[in-house]
Structure 1
């Protein structure tokens, strides 16, 4: 193998590694909200989840009018309950 061929292979390998790293960085989870905001959402979700089953039903959401008013839109999988992620999409700190 010539020096030129080795250099080309090294360059290609380095470029592929760089592309793979960039791709992984782009597919990583989006930046999380600040810790205080995340904690507020989780606390509100826990409070709303009266039976502590890890989801908020429409009946449980009644005590939070801002969630209850858009429950159907937030329930993306249409299973009749909000996951933490679905709940967080509609939660406003205030």
Structure 2
């Protein structure tokens, strides 16, 4: 991985973290995860996002049965991809 792609991933992860935090804060039903859990979710999201485009497609989610099984439900905006916030709603730490 080049330095440039590493910086892009870091910037994207940072932006997604802010977006996810804002989304989670607005959702009363979903408690905000602690820092360790949030880091685990972000790491799982980054790993699932094979092409590093900032979203997890249905094909990318196929590698994670717990996400793949709920994909249609998690994809709240029905754009065919999961944002970090959508992904986090279905991610179970194990």
Q: TM-score, normalised by structure 1?
A: 0.67
What's the counterpart of residue 91 of structure 1?
Answer: 91
Matched residue SS, 1:78: coil
Matched residue SS, 1:41: helix
Matched residue SS, 2:67: helix
Q: TM-score, normalised by structure 2?
A: 0.67
Aligned length: 66
Higher RCO (CA < 8 A, seq sep 6+): 2
Structure 1, unaligned runs of 5 or more: 1-28
- CA distance in structure 2 between the partners assigned to 1:32 and 1:92 by the alignment: 14
- Alpha-carbon deviation of 1:32? 2.7
- Alpha-carbon deviation of 1:57? 0.2
Map 1:58-77 to 2 at 5 A.
58-77=58-77
- CA distance in structure 2 between the partners assigned to 1:32 and 1:91 by the alignment: 13
What's the counterpart of residue 43 of structure 2?
Answer: 43
